[in-house]
Amino acid sequence: MCPKPDIKELDVQAYVFKQLSEKPEIIKNNDFVDKIYQKIAADTNDRKTIKSIQLSDLHIDFEYQEGTPTKCNFPICCRDNGPEDFTYADSPLAQKWGDYNCDSPHRTLQSMFDFIGNNQDELQTKFITWTGDNSAHNVWDNSNEEVT
């Protein structure tokens, strides 16, 4: 029903060569970042330090359950996935504060946030960057409301 699009095949090597040949002279040798670090290392003057916190990939699981298997046949374990959840007989059990193989329990993140909030005099962070990827790996359950 739709017209066939006109697709032009590109030669990868020619494309890369073109991109590299159009680079500004200052970065043409691919040593631009190395030169910046060399310049920083050569400068012995004191620098102002700004402390910050970066949070990323928190994967908050509001259904995390302590004592549930950490190995299962779902993309996310450490929770009750229902009767179709096949768990492995040798599976370790989820601990109170979380497990490496599972998403983060809410209590762990709440504890982290409480620590950050209650220790600002010592931490002296100027800003927090939260870069996302918060949703648990229960991808079959994701909705706009859950993600929000």
Q: Is residue 29 part of a domain?
A: no
Decide if 65 contacts 93 (C-beta within 8 A): no
What number is the average pLDDT over the span 118-147?
88
Decide if 60 contacts 136 (C-beta within 8 A): yes
The pLDDT of residue 56 is 94
Q: What is the pTM of this model?
A: 0.66
Q: Is residue 112 part of a domain?
A: yes
What number is the average pLDDT over the span 105-119?
96
Q: Is residue 81 part of a domain?
A: yes
Q: Is residue 143 part of a domain?
A: yes
CA of 106: how far to CAs of 47, 76, 127, 130, in Å?
38, 15, 22, 16
What number is the average pLDDT over the span 10-34?
84
In which band, very low, low, confident or very high, does the pLDDT at 145 lie, cut at 50, 70 and 90? Answer: confident
Q: pLDDT tens across 47-100, in order?
A: 888 999 999 999 999 999 999 999 988 888 999 888 777 778 889 999 999 999
Q: Is residue 7 part of a domain?
A: no
> How high does pLDDT run on average in the chain?
89
Q: Where are the alpha helices (DSSP H) in 44-141?
A: 106-118, 120-123
Domain containing 74 equals 51-147
Q: Is residue 4 part of a domain?
A: no
**Overall domain count for the chain:** 1
The pLDDT of residue 147 is 72
The pLDDT of residue 132 is 82
Q: Is residue 139 part of a domain?
A: yes
Q: Is residue 140 part of a domain?
A: yes
